[in-house]
Amino acid sequence: MTRIFAYLAEAFASLWRNKARSLLTMLGMIIGTSSIITVFGLSKAATSGIESTLTSFGTIPISVNVDGSQNYPDRAQFLPGDAQRLADALGDEVYEVQPNWSRNWPVSYGTKKNYYSVSTVGKYQDDTLTMSSGRKIGPEDVDTAARVVDLSQSVADKFFPNGDAVGKELTMNGGRYTVIGVYAPIKSPLVTSLGGSDFIAIPYSTFARTTSDPPDGLNIYPVKGVNFDTIEKQILDTLHHIHGPQAQYQVFDGAGFLKGFDKTLNIVGTGLAAIGTVALLVAGIGIMNIMLVTVTERTREIGLRKSIGASRADIMLQFLMESVVLAVLGGGTGMCLGLLVTIGGASMLSKYLGDLLIPYLLVVTIALSFSIAVGMIFGLYPAYRAATKDPIEALRS
């Protein structure tokens, strides 16, 4: 162990004697490592932010919609009882089949009036959204088609600036509805930019009583572990049995989309990080080149060491240690620079994606592992050249 520390001290001394050359050699490692850290860190952080936002709304359902490209789409329109028939056909494979509607309704309270997006919810809700006051729409509200609503915080603030929304009655599309809950603000600019922060939720059974329009679509919440291809066939078979084989539908796997999206982001991040490894490869070649020059410059020193008893392993370890130190110094500097850029980039992205999670431990592990590997791989040949030199020839040089 003492010998290793001695070689380590010699490596630092040698690099310090050639400061400019060492710094230029490390520059490639700094650029390569920082670029890999930045791309990898930001891609992981962005993925975590998007996943956290989407999963906050609970299980992403399988959605079924009428294919508008067919010749007679009206013949395939959903009937009021389709959701229950599908639920009966799918049995224990699903938690619930919900018909869904979404409309812009006139909403008023006293003299205040505006149009808002009103959407339906069902019995099955496993989201992590919290309520600032009141409660969420529950199964009993759906079963009784209760005239109750949940408001987003922004809608509640517009109608009830004093914060006393729960228990009040709103007039929506000509009917009176009681406010039973207000959602806490959703801390995700991504959701706000995509769908807005103003929304109102009512039971789908209540909505069904107010309209003769067919459902916009069906949301199916499968039990965990159910194969999508199998359930898709059952869905289509049931709908074809009800509406005829000519009816065409589009079945979209929400959970599969999220997995595919995550996979795509990982592939893109890995691909960009792989481009950064080219810089590391160039840096490794630079280290090998400089170490070969160093071996040539110190040929007489190698001869002297061998003449007083240094073995091949001692000489090889000495030069290999110097190569690793050079790589680790460059990689460590690049890691710090990459982390700073990653933190700054994540701070900017958080304005759009909400809270982001940066995998610091994984990033540091990758940076150090790559640096040590580059130092050892590209320093191995110069160290071998130094260790195999003939001591007599070395002393004559």
**pLDDT (0 to 100) of residue 18:** 78
Reported as a single tens digit per residue, the pLDDT across 45-92 is: 877 777 766 666 667 788 899 998 888 888 889 987 899 999 999 988
Question: How many residues are there in the chain?
Answer: 397
Is the confidence at residue 391, as pLDDT, over 60? yes
Of 95, 83, 10, 82, residue with least CA distance to 325: 10
Reported as a single tens digit per residue, the pLDDT across 96-147 is: 999 999 999 999 998 899 999 999 999 887 776 788 899 999 999 999 999 9
**pLDDT (0 to 100) of residue 188:** 59
Reported as a single tens digit per residue, the pLDDT across 4-24 is: 777 677 777 777 887 888 888
Alpha helices in 244-311 (DSSP H): 254-297, 299-307
For the whole model, what pTM was predicted? Answer: 0.64
Of 196, 197, 205, 159, residue with least CA distance to 179: 159
Which residues, listed in sequence order, are joined to residue 119 by a DSSP beta bridge? Answer: 102, 201
Report the Cα 228 to chain-centroid distance in Å. Answer: 23
**pLDDT (0 to 100) of residue 194:** 47
**pLDDT (0 to 100) of residue 191:** 54
Is the confidence at residue 336, as pLDDT, over 80? yes
**pLDDT (0 to 100) of residue 187:** 65
d(CA 114, CA 101): 19
How many Cα neighbours within 13 Å face the side chain of 151?
26
Percent of the chain at pLDDT above 70? Answer: 89
Q: Which tokens in the block code for residue 254?
A: 């929400």
Q: Are strands 217-222 and 94-100 parallel, antiparallel or unpaired?
A: antiparallel
Q: What is the largest CA-CA distance in the chain?
A: 104
Reported as a single tens digit per residue, the pLDDT across 207-226 is: 999 888 899 999 998 888 88
Is the confidence at residue 249, as pLDDT, over 50? yes
**pLDDT (0 to 100) of residue 40:** 80
Q: Out of 46-50, 168-172, 228-232, give the one with best mean pLDDT.
A: 168-172
d(CA 4, CA 122): 68
Q: Are strands 200-203 and 112-121 parallel, antiparallel or unpaired?
A: parallel
Residue 332 has phi, psi (to 5 degrees) of -65, -40
What is the secondary structure of 43-103 as a DSSP string? Answer: HHHHHHHHHHHHHTT-SPPEEEEE-TTSS-GGGGPPPTTHHHHHHHHHGGGEEEEEEE-EE
Is the confidence at residue 192, as pLDDT, over 60? no
Answer for the pair 261, 351: CB distance below 8 angstroms, yes or no: no
